Amino acid sequence: MQHTPVIETQQLQYHFTSHDLNNNAQKIEILQNVNLTINAGEQVAIIGSSGSGKSTLLSLLAGLDVPSSGSVQVNGNAFSALDEDGRAAVRAQTMGFIFQSFQLLPALSALENVMLPLQLKNNPEARALSLAALKQVGLSERMQHYPKQLSGGEQQRVAIARAFATQPNILFADEPTGNLDHATGQMIIELLFEMNASQGTTLVLVTHDLTLAARCQRQLVLSQGQLTDQVTS
């Protein structure tokens, strides 16, 4: 199997300055010297305890934020050095997202939520692709329902449909089962991997859930902002 890196980081650091009650400045280190490579089609789980910097790492990999130092490359090109709009353009072309809190827009129906990223690409097939994606996650019957009218599991299925509808090369998932009960979480995991497999997407997910992490080909362990271990299943 040929390994083509899609994401690479070098000496990735992230910190910010916080002020305590006495207004003393304190530098908070979130990530320190993170070097990693994720290959095309790979499934990678980033695991670690709360506050270890998992979500921050994911946001840097996805270009949702910029590192304090170090760099992120996507498909061999400098990514973190791009400006906000440059990174947004790369995201639009190559990335999809699934969030812990679903991030569905309450004013939009399930179908409209799925259509949103496609419409942003001005895709003329937006409706058809979204309908197909919703059918794939088993929600064709509920496509006209608003998020408030859906259960947590259903909302996350809509989010998965939304993520896969654009057929991204890389899919980032931030605690995709974090807000769901065990059974529903399992169902979502199955769906996620099934769709990942069918599209050959590179999957980067952040999770506490070791069972979910174990389903991935590789687990990166973050502890106090540093990559301490890599486990390959």
Residues forming the site for another protein (CB under 8 A)? 55, 59, 62-65, 84-85, 88-93, 95, 97, 99, 101, 103, 105-108, 112, 116-117, 119-122, 146, 148, 166, 174
Q: Which C-beta is closer to another protein: that of 95 or that of 204?
A: 95
CB of 195 to another protein, least distance (A): 18
Report phi then psi at 150, rounded to 5: -110, 155
Strand ranges across the sheet with 5-19: 25-39, 5-19, 69-74, 77-78
CB of 139 to another protein, least distance (A): 17
Q: Which C-beta is closer to another protein: that of 27 or that of 148?
A: 148
**Amino acid code (one letter) for 226:** Q
Contact between 146 and 106 under an 8 Å Cβ cutoff? The reply is: yes
CB of 184 to another protein, least distance (A): 14
Residues ≥6 apart with Cβ < 8 Å to 65 = 14, 56, 59
Rounded to whole angstroms, what are the CA distances from 131 to 135, 138, 170, 178, 188? 6, 10, 21, 26, 19
Q: Which C-beta is closer to another protein: that of 92 or that of 214?
A: 92
Q: Which C-beta is closer to another protein: that of 167 or that of 233?
A: 167
CB of 142 to another protein, least distance (A): 15
